[in-house]
Structure 1
């Protein structure tokens, strides 16, 4: 009698549900993209229908053409976008990291030594209320038309948001957590590392988010006051030639720089604050 072996019938893979177009259209990214396309269409056809002069508001197609000419230029061409973007981006990044680093370091020092806050509070309030744009010509006069003066202006604009938010974050910690760590014989450094700094991180990232946008503004203001190269200089040159389309193309580049910086900060925030609920992160950032 032969042994009969029965094999189980192969199970067919379950059909995957097809992605419905309505689900994609309901996403936030799709809605933002559709809104952008609608605004660009209104811009393009509205300017042409109402015969708006190009030196006032150019059609979006002219802005795209100017952006393409700037990007198609050689990397070191003085009339292209690459050369000036590299200089402005260097000013933004250097000023952002230096100013934010100094602000965070001073905020940590104040958190560890509260007496310093009482001594520095009047000076911080005085310098924070000082109009930074009004000080820009003096900084240009001190440091010259090179990159150092623009970095100093960006540092001044990015320093205060990080300092103020970090101080607020260190003060927002629950005192019961500190008392609990002290009952466990924790050292001041352990209290800072285990309780104070993690509690202040959402506030610090909120300050960094504001500092990123201020860094772009500071670099352009410094280049408006006095510079030899940069996107601010390129805007002034195009305005003198009444090339409004070219000026708008530079605005797009500046917007993209701000978007990329903010996106990178949000990505770092997600990785660092992975333990924190998303709703709490958005509340503090807002």
Structure 2
């Protein structure tokens, strides 16, 4: 399927969804305070964006997501490399990782709030904790799926461990790592919003909660769609980086590599 045809199908599906939403609310007589139509949401979005009221909240949420995502992914990659290279490290690290991942992150949010306060720090740490696990597991799985014969060939020529890791294991694991990164970027956005729901003075999550107090459903939908747009853009950035870095293995077929099956496999 050509790119033009793919974009046309995507645009057509969006238009069909908006038409279904508009006429569905009109025909069924759904009141605006329960589900406003797309025109009402567009008017609310225009008001928030034209006055600039939403931009500080967008900046705060994106900042929390980017810093937390970068920190969580870096720690996940380093620990995954350590675990994949040294069996002793796996025995030490893996029980803590699995046990910590079993804890609901929503339950940790109030604890992080007590420890790090109402500012950005508590949200950044929550995002990092949520992003950590998918990147860690996918990286370990990718590094361990390396061709054993190729590793043995390097060892036969007295290749040092770091060279085997850099030339053989890391390129082989690149697609798995980026699959984890794509999963993590979406979860990181969720983590930022959850942290803002618990306690925040700014951010899209805070704005959604404040709008719900005023029954401003249009503003709530505007924030939700803004979060969706941020997630789509972040996903596209990761995809663009992947196409540049993993230039030897272009993904085919679907534009999504981080599928639910890959997450379950992780």
Structure 2 counterpart SS, 1:140: helix
What are the equivalent positions in structure 2 for 1:209-228 lying under 5 Å apart? 209-228=182-201
**CA-CA distance at 1:168 after TM superposition:** 0.7
Structure 1 counterpart SS, 2:252: helix
Structure with greater proportional helix content: 2
**CA-CA distance at 1:285 after TM superposition:** 3.3
1:259 to 229, 232, 238: 232
TM-score by length of 1: 0.87
2:47 to 40, 58, 69: 69
Residues 154/279 of structure 1: CA separation in 2 closer, same or farther (3 Å cut): same
Contiguous gaps of at least 5 residues in structure 1: 1-22, 75-79
**CA-CA distance at 1:142 after TM superposition:** 1.1
Q: Distance in 2 between matches of 1:43 and 1:282?
A: 26
Q: What is the root-mean-square deviation of aligned Cα atoms in Å? A: 1.8
Is 2:168 the counterpart of 1:177?
Answer: no
Task: Give the structure 1 partner of residue 16 of structure 2.
Answer: 38
For these two proteins, the number of residue pairs brought into alignment is 259
Q: Distance in 1 between matches of 2:2 and 2:258?
A: 27
**CA-CA distance at 1:45 after TM superposition:** 1.5
Residues 24/113 of structure 1: CA separation in 2 closer, same or farther (3 Å cut): closer
Q: Which has the larger radius of gyration?
A: 1
1:138 to 94, 111, 114: 111
Task: Give the structure 1 partner of residue 168 of structure 2.
Answer: 195
Contiguous gaps of at least 5 residues in structure 2: 260-266
Q: Deviations over 1:237-286 (max 9, x none)?
A: 11111111110010111001000000000000011111014239979633
2:93 to 120, 141, 157: 120
**CA-CA distance at 1:130 after TM superposition:** 1.1
Query: Which contiguous aligned blocks of 4+ residues in structure 1 show a shift greater than 4 angstroms?
Result: 23-26, 280-284
**CA-CA distance at 1:46 after TM superposition:** 1.2
Question: Do the aligned residues in 2 keep the contact of 1:66 with 1:246 (CA within 8 Å)?
Answer: yes
Question: Do the aligned residues in 1 keep the contact of 2:83 with 2:93 (CA within 8 Å)?
Answer: no
Q: Deviations over 1:118-152 (max 9, x none)?
A: 12121111011111111111111111110100001
TM-score by length of 2: 0.93
Residues 283/58 of structure 1: CA separation in 2 closer, same or farther (3 Å cut): closer
